[in-house]
Structure 1
Amino acid sequence: MITKISEIAIFADIPEIDAPHIISKLKERKFKKNHVLMFENDLSEDVYIIRSGMLKIYRIHEGKEIVLSISMPGDILGEVEALSNDSHRISSIEALENVSVWHMTKQDFLQIVDQYPSVLRKAYMVLVERTRMLNRLIRYLTFYDVRTKAANLLVDLYYNFGKPDGDNFKIDLKINQSLLANMLGVTRESISKTLGDFQNEGLIDIREKYFYLLDKSQLEAICSETEEVPALRKWYNV
């Protein structure tokens, strides 16, 4: 649970003495799992800061969903629209679990930006990181087969949510196969078969929706020609 302004990347450089001023502009809201906070192309000027829980950013075309990213505590949503002249939402956002957020109006957010220029610089850095993530997603969707896509995504998830677990490496994030399929633009049957192959080859194990990389080096070997700079697998370096 995010409790301090300093834990929010975009506000990290605001002096601690000014934190109460920022907090006074925030209102806490809670959303249940599967609640859609916003739909693509909706007109809305709300800005959200995630305090707890996980959300997916996605688009739907002809009934097919593609997940663009996953947002976690400390992330901010809606700031791009607030900083632009167009209030149409860029994408849809849905709670993957029960979520708590801080909510603020566009006017309050812009006032903070005017008062603390570092917020605008941080917002730009966040936008660059999101663009980098989308660039990687386009590469996955366009150039690779399902096996290479899945291996890359598992390694990405480890770089962002992983931790050593004995002799193995755990992705400390519960995630189901349908979400993985929608992150890669493939069918659930395809991802299920591929993950089954990885399990049979001793590359991974799945326990209670947690993924364990049993042979991380071999998974990375599958990805060897798809990411020349492994550090760029980190989704956010703000």
Structure 2
Amino acid sequence: MKNHPIFKTLNNEEYEKIKNFFKEKRYKKDEILVKEGEYSGKAFILKEGEVSVIKESIYKNDYIITDIKAGGEEFFGEVNLIDRGFVSSTIKAKTDILVFEIEHNDFIEIIDTYPTIGVKMLWIISYNLAKHLRKADRDIVTLYNAFVEVVEND
């Protein structure tokens, strides 16, 4: 877990102080980690296995947006650490998985107890959220342009 990007700005001493806030948890294939439209305060580092990111259509059909495999920088649910809000996608175990899970309240405790560590972690989370937001902006432009093309060609 130490090599995960969320910890890349932490030295060994800082990492040791906060590592136990991340709880190791196993989920079986087809188990739901978080459900779209429900509240959650959890974020996850995917250590082993594969999960599916699922959205519900306006017709109440589920469709897979993407699959995420362990082995790299897989960290999801970080928005939940900030606002404990509605989950935007369902995360479902595609295989048996191992995650390191952190709850909003534990993250707040890190920030309160170790403010320097909290700031370093928040910087990484903010950086990742900015990357996601920029991608979403590009996707919106692409969708808008496709929509305009369809409307103009009808």
TM-score for both structures, normalised by structure 2? 0.74
Q: Which structure would you say has the larger RCO, counting Cα contacts within 8 Å and 6 or more residues apart?
A: 2
In the other structure, the counterpart of 2:44 is 48
**Structure 1 residue runs of 4 or more that deviate by more than 4 Å after TM superposition:** 135-138
2:17 pairs with 1:14: no
How far has the Cα of 1:19 moved from its partner? Answer: 2.0
Matches within 5 A, 1:112-131: 112-114=110-112, 115=115, 116=117, 117-131=119-133
Residue 95 of structure 1 corresponds to: 93
Cα displacement string for residues 1-27 of structure 1 (whole angstroms, at most 9, x for unaligned residues): xxx32x221221011122222222222
| Partners of 1:34 and 1:97 within 8 A in 2 | yes
The total of aligned residue pairs comes to 139
Alignment match of 1:26 (pick from 22, 35, 45):
22
1:129 is matched by which residue type in structure 2?
Answer: K
What residue identity is the alignment partner of 2:130? V
CA contact (8 A) 1:59 1:68 kept: no
Structure 1: which amino acid aligns with 2:125? Answer: A
> 1:130 aligns to what SS in structure 2?
helix
In 1, Cα distance between the equivalents of 2:90 and 2:127?
22
Is contact 2:52–2:64 with CA below 8 Å preserved after alignment? Answer: no
Counterpart for residue 65 of structure 2: 67
Amino acid at match of 2:80: E
For structure 2, list consecutive stretches of 5 or more residues without a partner in the other structure. Answer: 148-154
**Percent of matched pairs sharing the same residue:** 22
Deviations 1:115-156 (A, max 9, x none): 221111111111122224434555379739xxxxxxxxxxxx
Residue of structure 1 in register with 2:146 after alignment: 143
Distance 1:89 1:78 in 2: 8
The amino acid across from 2:35 in the alignment is F
Gaps of 5+ in 1: 145-238
Code of the aligned partner of 1:26 = F
Larger radius of gyration: 1
Residues 154-199 of structure 1, C-alpha deviations (whole Å, 9 max, x = no match): xxxxxxxxxxxxxxxxxxxxxxxxxxxxxxxxxxxxxxxxxxxxxx
Give distance in 2, aligned partners of 1:16 and 1:108.
Answer: 20
Tell me the CA shift for residue 77 of structure 1. 2.3
Output the TM-score relative to the length of structure 1: 0.51
- Whether the 8 Å contact between 1:57 and 1:71 is mirrored in structure 2 is no
Partner of 1:172: none
